[in-house]
Amino acid sequence: MFSRHNRLVGLLFALADTGVTLVSFWSAREIRLHLPGFRLLFPVSHYPWIVPLATASWLGVGWATGLYRQIEEEDLRQAIKRVVRVAAWSTLLLFAVIFAFNFQHVSRILVGFYAAINLLLMVLLRLLARRFEGRWRASLAGRQHFLIVGSSPDAFEIARALEGNGRRGVELAGFASVGKGPEEVKSLRSPRLERDYPLYSVNDLPQLLRRHVIDEVIFAVSKDELDQLENTFLICEQEGVKARLSLSFFPHVLSRVSLEHLQEMPLLTFSTTPENEALMLIKRLLDFGMAAVMFVILSPVLLLLAALIKLTSPGPVFYRQTRCGLGGRKFTLYKFRSMHAGADLRKEELEALNEADGPVFKIRNDPRCTRVGRFMRRLSLDELPQLINILRGDMSFVGPRPPLPEEVERYELWQRRRLRMQPGLTCLWAIEGRSRLSFKRWMELDLEYIDRWSPLLDWKILLKTIPAVLLGKGAS
């Protein structure tokens, strides 16, 4: 798969192996303590260095042999063979240090048990990772949809590589041909591919990105065709869609430019969204952990609000609404119902009272709100059920607010890039003025957040949002 993806998977395996090493040493010590007929072990305080040394020897040998740099998940036998080789060398290194410094108080039997348990757990870890690969990849990143521009041999080779990574959440949406009109669009058949794919015209790319979920566009074209694709690149940039360019026609650039690789094929990548996958993974893990803790702590408040809604107005407790998430993916957003039942049916008759510009509909004193609903909206308590959306991976704590599909249909081209970041409960607009902002300024702040994103910015926004919510600034 892509080299950046390999680095992230390698980092995850290194962290997992560190935990496995600690578990292995603890297990080996427990087994050695309960073995009859052997002398008593020295206390752990006599060799606190043994665990860091064991961990460092394993990780060091692993990095040196490419265990964490060249992830070979396809060939299970080769992957296990490499783990066995790393285990042998790291154990040999550990014993060499023990004998070289004549550490008599270190139990050789304990180290032997540790080496055996560690090897067993490392192999088991990789078997489990392979077995549940699809699930954990889907929970972390979801399915990624690719469109290939071009019909050259290189394009088909890229398509085959993407097909081979289908279980990793990769899906090929089709091909776009350069120089063909709409009337020539049809399906593409090739005996080199597993199935037929739609063949579009590159001129229809703007409509294609609106109608379908496309996360990345890979350009595999000739030099002559590349000259015709200037506007196509700009469309991808404005949409926030990641663009990759195959450099097979210009191989001498490899030593001068930092590139992505799809297996052995170099791709030049353009992106206007955050690219640090390790930091984005940490963001997702923190979101899940914080949402789980808050859900437990706030459960009495959630139950109280649910009871108040049920007792004060007829209708369901929760309001469900279809929203657009990352890349335009549709999901169900949950809120506490703050309006009377059937409020959506009255939207057209209240259109003249809309106080927001752009495609958004907002009324400061909405007559459809219940008494409890107005109170909840002022303190944003109606948003609390969105903790469920965060736990499910639909949303984050910080990010652009998820829009309605009909709002997205009315976006200008430059505004659609905000869909390329995981939507959230709060963002820069919550600090500056919430509902009092113009629609254009709201969009500008979302794009500013995407361009400036960092974990530190997320925490600054969260900390500044709390007083804004408690004081009800800009709420409607």
User: Which amino acid is located at 285 in the chain?
Assistant: L
DSSP letter for 240, please: T
The total of other beta-carbon atoms located within 10 Å of residue 187's CB is 11
Position 476 in a domain: no
CA distance 61 to 42: 28
CA distance 199 to 195: 13
Which of 110, 131, 152 is the endpoint of a domain? 131
Backbone angles phi, psi at 346, to 5 degrees: -95, 5
Q: Is 260 found in the same domain as 342?
A: no
Domain count, the chain: 3
* Mean pLDDT, 10 residues at a time, the chain of 476 residues: 72 87 84 70 64 83 77 69 86 81 71 87 85 64 84 87 81 85 60 85 89 92 84 90 83 60 79 82 92 94 94 91 94 92 72 69 78 88 94 94 92 91 91 76 92 90 82 59
The pTM of the full predicted model, rounded to 2 decimals, is: 0.74
Structure tokens at 307: 């009871």
Q: DSSP 3-state assignment of 156?
A: helix
Q: Is 419 found in the same domain as 285?
A: yes
DSSP letter for 42, please: P
Position 223 in a domain: yes
Which CATH number does the domain housing residue 165 bear?
3.40.50.720
Q: Which residue has the tokens 């279809």?
A: 322
Position 12 in a domain: yes
Q: Is 148 found in the same domain as 123?
A: no
Position 208 in a domain: yes
Per the CB < 8 A criterion, the answer to whether 164 and 188 are in contact is no
Rounded to the nearest 5 percent, the helix, strand and coil shares of the chain are: 55, 15, 30
Q: Which residue has the tokens 């957003």?
A: 333
CA distance 231 to 243: 13
- Judged on CB neighbours under 10 Å (0-12, 13-18, 19+), 93 is middle
CA distance 138 to 263: 21
Q: HSE-up of 425 (CA within 13 Å, CB side)?
A: 27
End-to-end, the C-alpha distance of the chain in Å comes to 47
Q: Is 321 found in the same domain as 431?
A: yes
Q: Is 321 found in the same domain as 302?
A: yes
Q: Is 394 found in the same domain as 303?
A: yes
Q: Is 282 found in the same domain as 194?
A: no
Position 243 in a domain: yes
Cα distances (Å, whole numbers) of residue 147 to 175, 197, 213: 6, 10, 10
Q: In three state form, how does the secondary structure of 388-434 look?
A: HHHHHCCCEEECCCCCCHHHHHCCCHHHHHHHHCCCEEECHHHHHCH
Q: Is 312 found in the same domain as 237?
A: no
β-pairing verdict for 396-398 and 424-426: parallel
CA distance 81 to 103: 31
Neighbouring residues of 63: CB distance < 8 A, sequence distance ≥ 6: 14, 69
Position 136 in a domain: no
Per the CB < 8 A criterion, the answer to whether 279 and 242 are in contact is no
Position 396 in a domain: yes
Q: Is 344 found in the same domain as 427?
A: yes
Which of 131, 153, 186 is the endpoint of a domain? 131
The total of other beta-carbon atoms located within 10 Å of residue 303's CB is 10
Q: Is 18 found in the same domain as 150?
A: no
Element counts in the chain: helices (H) and strands (E): 17, 12
Which of 272, 303, 335 is the endpoint of a domain? 272
Position 190 in a domain: yes
| Cross-strand pairs, 177 | 201
Which range marks the domain in which residue 376 is found?
A: 278-470
User: Which amino acid is located at 244 in the chain?
Assistant: R
Per the CB < 8 A criterion, the answer to whether 152 and 219 are in contact is no
Q: Which of 287, 286, 308, 306 is nearest to 298 (CA)?
A: 306
Q: Is 354 found in the same domain as 308?
A: yes
Residue 184, pLDDT score: 47
Residue 385, pLDDT score: 96
CA distance 324 to 440: 19
Neighbouring residues of 410: CB distance < 8 A, sequence distance ≥ 6: 358, 359
Q: Is 388 found in the same domain as 291?
A: yes
Radius of gyration, alpha carbons of the chain: 28
Q: DSSP 3-state assignment of 137?
A: helix
